[in-house]
Amino acid sequence: MYLAVAATLVILILWYLFRIRSQDLPEPEPVSPFHHLEVRKAAIYEGLRDLQFEYRVGKLSDEDYQRTKLGLQGQLATILAEIDAIKATQPQPKQVPKPAPAAAPTSKLCPHCGARFEKALKFCGECGKSMAGDAA
Ligand SMILES: [Zn+2]
């Protein structure tokens, strides 16, 4: 009796843990609306690579190579145009505004002599005074 209760408890705890775990899993990435076009694009790129290889090893005549290459490039242009067209109709992802960089404790412009430096400095390389601008 005691064993059965313990076993049930363990099963309950395990079930609970796995339930949490499955909730923690990230959502599957949404398939982009032009996924099928991307697949075709990749296939054409591979075709072009193969073509170039066969041409290099002498399996293809110049004429065959040029004709096939132009055909593939034409298909590629069509697919790229389709992808662009779909992208144009998609809402653009929101641009996360970058937080303004915190004011540097040091300055690139000497408040005493007006010398300007590439990097922020603590002390002016020209007059040697503090670049922080305090009247010390
Ligand atoms: Zn200075």
By the CB criterion, residues less than 5 angstroms from ion ligand 1 are: 110, 112-113, 115, 124, 126-127
How remote is the CA of residue 19 from the centroid of ligand 1, in Å? 65
Please provide residue 102's backbone torsions phi and psi, each rounded to the nearest 5 degrees: -60, 145
Rounded Cα distance, 66 and 100, in Å: 53
Tokens of 12: 């309950």
Distance 105 CA to ligand 1 centre (A): 16
Distance from the CA of 110 to the center of ligand 1, in angstroms? 5
Residue 93 has pLDDT above 80, yes or no: no
- Quick one: 110 exposed, middle or buried, by C-beta within 10 A (0-12, 13-18, 19+)? buried
Q: How far is the CA of 123 from the centre of ligand 1 (A)?
A: 8
Determine the Cα–Cα distance for residues 114 and 116; give it in Å rounded to an integer: 6
Write the pLDDT tens digit of every residue in 30-84.
Answer: 778 888 999 999 999 999 999 999 999 999 999 999 999 999 999 999 999 998 9
Per-residue pLDDT averaged across 18-30, rounded?
A: 68
Higher pLDDT, 15 or 63: 63
pTM: 0.45
